[in-house]
Amino acid sequence: MSDYSTQQLMEKDKAHFTHPWTVFDVYKHEGALPIGRAEGCYIYDTDNNRYLDAVGGLWCNNIGTGREEMADAIAEQVRLMSYSSPFVDLTNVPATLLAEKLASLAPGDLDHVFYSCGGSTAVDTAFRLIHYYQNCRGKHDKKHIISRKSSYHGSTFAAMSIGGKAGDHPPEFDYLSDTIHHVSAPKFYGDSSGKTEAEFLDALIQELEDKIIELGGEDSVAAFFAEPILGAGGVIVPPQGYHQRTWELCQKYDILYVSDEVVTAFGRLGHWFASADEFNIQPDIITCAKGLTSGYQPLGATIYSDKIHQVISEEGHGRCFAHGFTYSGHPVACAAALKNIEIMERENLAGNVSELAPYFKERLESLLDLPIVGDVRGRGFMWCVEFVANKDNYELFPEELDIGKRISNLADGKGLIVRPIVHLNVMSPPLNLTREDIDFIVDTLRSSIEEVVAELN
Ligand code: PLP
């Protein structure tokens, strides 16, 4: 696997590799575990210890790793043509066919695709497309963006500014703030206002409308960004009717609705896209990545409506859409996406999610009898367990206790990877997971939580 020992690799890594979200003080001492290979739902470290990866890489490994047909499709495209420029008057076959396929899978008139290198650049592209569209319409003051606290939209300057996770905005970084605004996250669990869920929803809708009006209404607000289920912010499933009502407000004030489906698309919630099929809304723009290639190649797509396309491409203006990447529509990434979608269709992986989601939910909810499990929430194959010090008053554990990490570390030792986010453990496993895998996940989580409960007593 490698000429170096695990320890040697860890030392080299610490010396030279700055990881995403590195907490330097911790990383300097603990380092990162080298993963040497992966197969299906399993990953193996360089000492050959096996783990069930219930995070699916990083919410992206939808078809499972190491598939021969994916390797063949990628190798075949590399041999045929490893790269070709996508700029203006050249194209390539996989990019063309994938755009057609995405247009056929996306809801309504979302028929146009702009490719990028991942989710962040897909969001950044949406952001720039919104400016371009509004300027083309002569609406030069219509530039304000509204998104939600606790949302995550990526890590470019614009995407990170649109995101609203407090922990992702440390003071050492700067953010774009004059045209980006955040309203409350739709998280009912832990709300201390004493409202019913219906009243909580009414308050969220009122807050959004108040914000739109405060910013100048229809003349000033350009777009609303929303993940169908907030992922990295803690698998927040909004109250029933939230998406419909926020979408209606966007219609009322001529605001573009951007559904960030980087996590929720390609079967994660049992559909190709969740906004229309799970939440019954018709966005103007969908951003996607991750499950588009199941992580076999980096690729993002911004899929946008005919309505937008007609405006930006109107004849006679001589306009240039001056935006793009060397790797937009990369032929190898697009070939991987086409094969990935073909596999998902053939194996009906979205159907497996719909079939097993109730079992996953029921098994995870069985953990609610443990004294520190406050909430279990999610849909499809996207779940989290929230830990609390006191279930009666939603008292959280002190951050320094690092409760989520403490539990996930124990789970690691038993061969299970879940993702700790402060006081949560998050899961988004490959879509071909079995009942036995679900049993292993829940049983391992239970014994890890029980150990922590015993330590805390
Ligand atoms: N949008 C959402 C909803 C995400 O969850 C993520 C990543 O987790 C992104 C955008 C950014 O995607 P990437 O990391 O591929 O740039």
Tens digit of each residue's pLDDT (9 = 90 or more) over 61-83: 999 999 999 999 999 999 999 99
Q: How many other CB atoms are there within 10 angstroms of residue 105's CB atom?
A: 17
Number of the ligand 1 atom closest to the C-alpha atom of 121: 16
Given ligand 1 and candidates 116, 120, 121, which is best to mutate, with the most ligand atoms within 8 Å of its CB?
120
H or E element in which residue 9 lies:
helix 6-16
Report which of 256, 263, 257 is spatially closest to residue 237, judged by C-alpha positions.
263
Cα(262) to centroid of ligand 1, in Å? 6
Instruction: Identify the residue whose tokens are 């979408």.
Output: 247
Q: How confident is the model at residue 2, as a pLDDT? A: 78
Q: How confident is the model at residue 1, as a pLDDT? A: 59
Residue 414 main-chain phi, psi, to 5 deg: -100, 10
pTM beyond 0.90: yes
Burial class (CB in 10 A: 0-12, 13-18, 19+), 40: middle
Pairing label, strands 256-260, 416-417 = unpaired
Q: How far is CA 344 from CA 68, 251, 272, in A?
A: 15, 33, 10
Residue spans of the chain under pLDDT 50: none
For residues 380 and 353, is the Cβ–Cβ distance under 8 A?
A: yes
CA distance 260 to 185: 15
Sign of the Cα torsion 6, 29, 399, 19 reads negative
b/e map of 239-268 (b: 16 or more CB within 10 Å)?
bebbbebbbebbeebebbbbbbbbbbbbbb
| Ligand 1 binding residues, C-beta < 6 A | 118-120, 123, 152-155, 227, 231-232, 260, 262-263, 289
Cα(406) to centroid of ligand 1, in Å? 25
Pairing label, strands 42-45, 35-39 = antiparallel
Both tokens of 238, joined, read 């909004």
CA distance 422 to 417: 15
Cα(289) to centroid of ligand 1, in Å? 8
Q: How far is CA 378 from CA 116, 143, 236, in A?
A: 28, 33, 7
Amino acid at site 275: S
Cα(152) to centroid of ligand 1, in Å? 7
Both tokens of 118, joined, read 């991942």
Given ligand 1 and candidates 61, 165, 230, 263, which is best to mutate, with the most ligand atoms within 8 Å of its CB?
263
Cα(80) to centroid of ligand 1, in Å? 30
CA distance 431 to 45: 22
Is the ipTM value over 0.95, yes or no?
yes
* End-to-end CA, the chain: 43
Cα(194) to centroid of ligand 1, in Å? 33
CA distance 413 to 40: 20
Report which of 294, 432, 417 is spatially closest to residue 356, judged by C-alpha positions.
432
Ranges of beta strands (E only) in 240-381 are 256-260, 285-288, 300-305, 373-379
Sign of the Cα torsion 350, 419, 262, 235 reads positive
